[in-house]
Amino acid sequence: MTEAYNPKVVEKAAQSFWDEKDSFAAKESKKPKYYCLSMFPYPSGKLHMGHVRNYTIGDVISRFKRMQGFNVLQPMGWDSFGLPAENAAIENDVSPKEWTIQNIDAMRGQLKSLGFSYDWNREFATSSPDYYKWEQSFFNKLFDQGLIYKKESEVNWDPVDETVLANEQVIDGKGWRSGATIEKKKIDQYFIKITDYADKLLENIQELDGWPNQVKLMQENWIGKSKGLEFNFQIKDHNDALRVFTTRPDTIFGATYCAVAMDHPLAISLIESNPKIHDFIKNNKNITTSEAAIATQEKLGMDTGLKAIHPFTREDIPIWIANFILMDYGTGAVMCVPGHDQRDWEFAKKYSISIKQVIESDQDNGVSDGALEDKGILINSKQFNGLDFDDAFDSITKELVKTNDAEVKTNFRLRDWGISRQRYWGCPIPIIHCDDCGPVKVPETDLPVELPEIDNISSKGLNLSTFSDWMAVKCPKCSKDATRETDTFDTFFESSWYFARFAGISDKEMISKEASNWLPVDQYVGGIEHAILHLLYARFFNILMHENKLIHNEEPFTKLLTQGMVLADAFYVLDEAGNKTWLNKDSLDDKNGELLDNSGNKVFKDGMSKMSKSKLNGVDPKEMIDKYGADTVRLYMMFTSPPEQTLEWSENAIEGSYRFIKRFWTLVEGRSNNIEEPSAFNKDEETLRRKSHQTLKKVLKDYEERNSFNTVIAAVMELINAIPESFKIEDASESQKYCLNEAIEFSLKILSPIAPHVTLELWSKFNSSKDKSLFETSWPEFKENLILDDNFELIIQVNGKVRGKEKIEKTLTEEQIKSIALSNENVSKHIQLDNIKKVIYVKEKLINFVI
């Protein structure tokens, strides 16, 4: 009688075994290296299913590569600075440091419970002075190189969280975390000159062959390199000119108005003299300047009353102030061509401005229903009629250079990276301000500049300017009284180089020489929501580290896998005003097929949406592990959908994964691979061996080339289903047992990266030699001669309709195949030999009898 599968016992034993042997420590080796990294988490204290999916994918890849003979580095650490920890500390009346340490301890245990093969010897938290010391040191290098500067700039200010937000953190004019209405505010900020590297970042994208095209395109668009023309529109009755930038000079004859940003000098000059303009700018200045938001928000404007003189037609065209023009792109002023730019078209329609068509293209449907944005042939453009885009660009540029101070310019949408934040829980910027010497970097011998210790945080939070004793310091240059910088780094600063620190941890330097053995990261795993900021900043930092001879590689990540989100059903009730209140699935009652809440109110199903705290549709990984075991959770996560696609959570489906593991356990437990290979096999045995080796060949491709773990699992299920029952019984022949054992061995090794605990336990009993644990064994090799099938499946048709199928030996003649097809029981019901008019045979595929 076989022992019952008990995941708690099996998983505890496996994890203890790995810990005792320090099984996953990355050490110096002659084996080829493989560095697999999943984006490290913010230590919230609790794993969610998105974490589980992300880290299971990385672990499956790592374990597979170990079995292939690679020396694998798979580390784990904590992105532990930032506003979330500070806000949580306020809510729980503790210090952010204490809160973070507690959460790291909790999450480490949760990660270990899933059996992830991390090298915990390399673990670090970015909030540790041992880590951010080197970040401050690197900042000093960049400061010396002139790549860091400070200037007053207009920022998105969250008055509740009391910090600056990036444009991407402002949603519908509200702070992404606090929900507060965002204000525009001018403050001094530190910036790093990422724009100096815009061309390099753009050029290198072409080398990222292992990245998804979607992510590369997102980065290209974010950098936003564009060649265009900068020139003047003379302002009527003024000595001044309005300088504009356009990427489409070919459309200049379609310009029917100009528009400037709300903070353009022209707009600002009109505020005092024009109350309407004053009110318009005041009412709209706090609207986010994120391009994504601008693309969808209502287009609003105010006519300045000023007229621009068209450089070719000499017509007067109005100058507007518009909320969709960005001051920090181009000149902050544009010529607007509503016939050939959709944004301009929407604005023109709203304010009854004329629309002209000056381009003809293959997709030409006119401009009455929308802008025609394709490039094409010029029309209604006087002497330039008939020119295509390139010729028109050159010809119009030559004319404008003569009269309108035109010059061809290359612009980028990318802006320098603002790295200052005004909160306590972050890495202090290592600058000292002296009245005589100005900003002075903290000497290397005084690093790290550590945060002042606190017991808790008030409800409003705090920043470093509240610590007067900490701020007071002597100037390193002149020794006079000075003050410390009170801003902290944007947390993207920490996550932009952590991958290199994992590869070369040292007490004596930022990145040790060991890093050259591991970098670049061979496989990076994380969500596509990080496609722009984190991944772009990490690439930028990597270039800087390369220039400073800290690492040898210019790009950080060879391959990138962006996993899909985990979705689950969400439920809500409506109040009288139609507002939604989200409900946890477990709080619902099913009364005769109708869902009700505890008060008897009708519950509505929102469908599948991203698991989130706000919608109360998250599933606690711990509950699932306690109920089914870590291997079932891992198997389910990998089986339900390909990694790049969304995963729809279903407890019925996870039950199916649990049943499969129990069935597999029953098949393997109590068996031993102690059968010698026989000299001959019968037909059924050869069929199973062929299936085993075909499966091995297929899953190798799925693992290596496609990361298609769902089809790996499906292939093993198919192999197990193909095992004849007669091979499993006690008195099966030696050759049958050998074929069964071969199928089991392959299945154990194939599933080992996905379900490592149960396969380790089963292997320890199944492996008669006992010389190696499963994770130390090598990946099995398929035999090509066993994969080739001597048979094929013949499809038999009568007048084109399938009437039967037969297994046919490849050595048979066409006449022999015809005879077998005609003797098929079902085929004989639909055919008489003397009615056959024609026989069509497609070799090794089908035969069709026409009657």
User: How far is 162 from 183, CA to CA, in rounded Å?
Assistant: 11
Place of tokens 């100058």: 319
**Is 477 annotated to bind ligand?**
no
What tokens appear for 825 in the block? Answer: 């029981």
User: How far is 636 from 638, CA to CA, in rounded Å?
Assistant: 5
Using an 8 Å Cβ cutoff, are 631 and 757 in contact?
Answer: yes
Helix H or strand E encompassing 764: helix 756-766
User: How far is 443 from 477, CA to CA, in rounded Å?
Assistant: 10
User: How far is 813 from 39, CA to CA, in rounded Å?
Assistant: 59
What tokens appear for 551 in the block? Answer: 């690492």
Least Cα distance to 8 among 165, 166, 135, 115 occurs for: 115
User: How far is 746 from 695, CA to CA, in rounded Å?
Assistant: 9
- Residue 677 is given by DSSP the state P
CB atoms within 10 A of CB 239: 6
The CA-atom distances, in angstroms, between 184 and each of 274, 280, 386 are: 22, 15, 47
Count helices and strands (H / E) in the chain.
Answer: 27, 35
User: How far is 801 from 779, CA to CA, in rounded Å?
Assistant: 45
What tokens appear for 133 in the block? Answer: 């010391």
Least Cα distance to 57 among 523, 413, 656, 474 occurs for: 523
Q: Alpha carbon 607 to chain centroid distance?
A: 23
User: How far is 680 from 736, CA to CA, in rounded Å?
Assistant: 11
User: How far is 620 from 616, CA to CA, in rounded Å?
Assistant: 11
Helices 621-628, 651-668: axis angle to 10 degrees equals 30
Place of tokens 């008055």: 159
Q: Residues 6 or more apart from 145 whose CB is under 8 A from it?
A: none
Torsion (CA) 457, 460, 464, 469 in degrees, nearest 10: -70
At residue 730's C-alpha, the angle toward residues 729 and 731, to 5°, is 95
Within 114-256, strands assigned E span 148-158, 163-165, 170-171, 174-175, 183-192, 226-235, 241-246
H helix intervals, 160-316: 198-205, 213-223, 265-269, 275-284, 291-296
User: How far is 526 from 535, CA to CA, in rounded Å?
Assistant: 10
User: How far is 723 from 744, CA to CA, in rounded Å?
Assistant: 10
Binding-site members for ATP are 613
